[in-house]
């Protein structure tokens, strides 16, 4: 399946291809130390506004109730290190921001090797990689390091410094972009902006969302598109708490994540299991002819579990490539700029755009000549002998549409039953509408 329009846009830095432009944005964002709150999120959203000037940035005060949660204190970090007896930095936050346990409380003092060990995190099974670890809601401090580096810490005492702040008067920050359409009904696209220096998780979903928004802004839109760029879990909970009266406008939704690594695609269904977004995503994946899997709903994962919680029950699925926890680079320093490739980002962008196009084109029609088969040849829409397979598929698309357009079947229904591409059915529906044989109802 091809995108609705050629992907010809470029980023402000004028990268030559969409994949290169997305990767260039990812390279700018990669060094920033993001968390669920703080200046790293603000810096990230400020860069996104260069690409999406209409992006609105929201600040929600710490301590604000949000459903069953409370907005946490704002965390920022300036520096962190562990020094040996000679004064050498043996663990240095400035070398890699994964070295710090996210949301570490401030600390400065000398600790025995045994005391320090209780605050160190490493991966014995991946001894050369730095893990990514967090302690958002339980006060703690710590350092992440490669296991080989950990084994080299042989001094009896170490000086530890974490120059961080936890501000109870701070804020949680998230971004939101709305692209108005002909209808107030919405398609929600949600992604995370909270992980530091992890290219696939979750910067790849963020950059795909940015360039999807840029492309959709160039096109006529039946639906209104709402993009949410927020920290994981608490971001979507805060957003939902502030939109309880309007979430009923959301007709379809996708969480975008892990879209830059290798491997096939994975679509996780919404809690409803057979929502239009679930069917559209499955149809597009099959038509694309790419390796993929469609998985049933599971109440664990990314922010789809907040949007799909039973009180909201929104039709929101999750699209990724290889899912979280199923590739060795996940939440380690190997999830780097080399792991995410421009061609993988491009393929992901095209797939998401095709899902949006499918939702845009999925309408219900009524056959205006339902008594017997109308004569298509004299109306110039039927392809005669010599049309080849394309002509045969076109003619079958016409006949299937006339057969099922009783005011109750959508194009997605027809595509599933007829095993024909929805873009072909869309073109055929426009031809029949132009010939006075079909009337769109939705």
The whole-number mean pLDDT for each consecutive block of 10 residues of the chain, a chain of 442 residues, reads: 38 70 97 98 98 98 98 98 97 98 98 98 98 98 98 98 98 98 98 97 97 97 98 98 96 98 97 98 96 97 98 98 97 98 97 98 97 92 62 92 97 97 96 97 90
Which are the contacts of 411, defined by CB distance < 8 A and separation ≥ 6? 361, 362, 363, 365, 422, 425, 426, 429
11: in domain: no
pTM of the model: 0.94
Range of the domain at 416: 365-440
Report which of 182, 163, 180 is spatially closest to residue 76, judged by C-alpha positions: 163
Helix %, strand %, coil % of the chain (to 5): 35, 25, 45
- Asked if residue 288 and residue 422 are part of one domain, the reply reads no
| Contact status, residue 166 vs residue 141, Cβ threshold 8 Å | no
Report which of 3, 162, 159, 44 is spatially closest to residue 94, judged by C-alpha positions: 162
Q: What is the dihedral of CA 25, 28, 32, 37, to 10 degrees?
A: -30
- Asked if residue 308 and residue 261 are part of one domain, the reply reads yes
**Domain boundary, last residue among 167, 197, 227:** 167
Residue 426 annotated as part of some ligand binding site: no
Alpha-carbon gap, residue 112 to 368, rounded angstroms: 84
- Residue 427 tokens, joined: 């073109």
Residue 201 annotated as part of some ligand binding site: yes
For 276-291, give the DSSP string: HHHHHHHHHHHHHT--
DSSP structure class, residue 152:
T
DSSP structure class, residue 202:
I
Residue 171 annotated as part of some ligand binding site: no
> Which pLDDT tens digit goes with each residue over 379-416?
989 876 544 456 789 999 999 999 999 999 999 999 99
CATH number of residue 163's parent domain: 3.50.30.90
DSSP structure class, residue 30:
T
- Residue 115 tokens, joined: 């005391």
**Domain boundary, last residue among 326, 361, 396:** 361
> Which pLDDT tens digit goes with each residue over 155-210?
999 999 999 999 999 999 999 999 999 999 999 999 999 999 999 999 999 999 99
């Amino acid at each position: 399946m091809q995108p609705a329009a050629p992907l010809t846009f470029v980023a402000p830095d004028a990268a030559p291809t969409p994949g290169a432009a997305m990767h260039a944005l990812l390279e700018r964002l990669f060094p920033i130390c993001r968390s669920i709150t703080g200046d790293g999120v603000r810096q990230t959203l400020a860069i996104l506004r260069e690409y999406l000037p209409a992006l609105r940035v929201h600040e929600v005060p710490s301590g604000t109730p949000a459903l069953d949660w409370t907005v946490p204190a704002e965390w920022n970090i300036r520096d962190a290190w562990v020094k040996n007896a000679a004064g050498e930095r043996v663990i240095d936050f400035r070398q890699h921001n994964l070295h710090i346990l996210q949301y570490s409380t401030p600390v400065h003092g000398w600790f025995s090797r045994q005391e320090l060990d209780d605050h160190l995190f490493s991966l014995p099974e991946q001894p050369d990689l730095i893990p990514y670890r967090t302690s958002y809601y339980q006060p703690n401090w710590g350092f992440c390091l490669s296991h080989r580096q950990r084994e080299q810490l042989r001094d009896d005492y170490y000086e530890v410094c974490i120059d961080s702040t936890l501000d109870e008067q701070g804020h949680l920050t998230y971004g939101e972009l709305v692209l108005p359409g002909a209808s107030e009904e919405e398609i929600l696209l949600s992604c995370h902006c909270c992980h530091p220096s992890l290219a696939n998780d979750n910067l790849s979903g963020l950059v795909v969302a940015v360039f999807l928004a840029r492309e959709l802004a160039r096109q006529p839109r039946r639906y209104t598109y709402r993009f949410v760029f927020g920290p994981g879990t608490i971001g979507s909970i805060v957003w939902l708490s502030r939109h309880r009266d309007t979430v009923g406008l959301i007709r379809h939704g996708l969480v975008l994540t892990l879209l830059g690594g290798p491997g096939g695609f994975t679509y996780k269904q919404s809690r409803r299991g057979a929502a239009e977004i679930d069917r559209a995503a499955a149809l597009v994946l099959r038509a694309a002819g790419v390796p993929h899997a469609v998985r049933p709903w599971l109440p664990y994962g990314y922010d789809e579990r907040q949007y799909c919680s039973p009180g909201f029950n929104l039709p929101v699925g999750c699209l990724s490539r290889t899912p979280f926890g199923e590739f060795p680079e996940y939440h380690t320093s190997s999830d780097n700029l080399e792991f995410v490739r421009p061609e993988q980002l491009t393929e992901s962008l095209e797939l998401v755009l095709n899902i949006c196009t499918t939702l845009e084109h999925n309408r219900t029609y009524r056959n205006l000549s339902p008594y017997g088969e109308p004569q298509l040849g004299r109306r110039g829409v039927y392809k005669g002998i010599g049309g080849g397979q394309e002509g045969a598929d076109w003619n079958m698309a016409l006949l299937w549409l006339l057969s099922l357009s009783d005011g109750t079947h959508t194009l997605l229904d027809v595509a599933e039953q007829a095993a024909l591409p929805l873009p072909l059915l869309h073109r055929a529906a426009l031809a029949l509408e132009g010939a006075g044989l079909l009337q769109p109802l939705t």
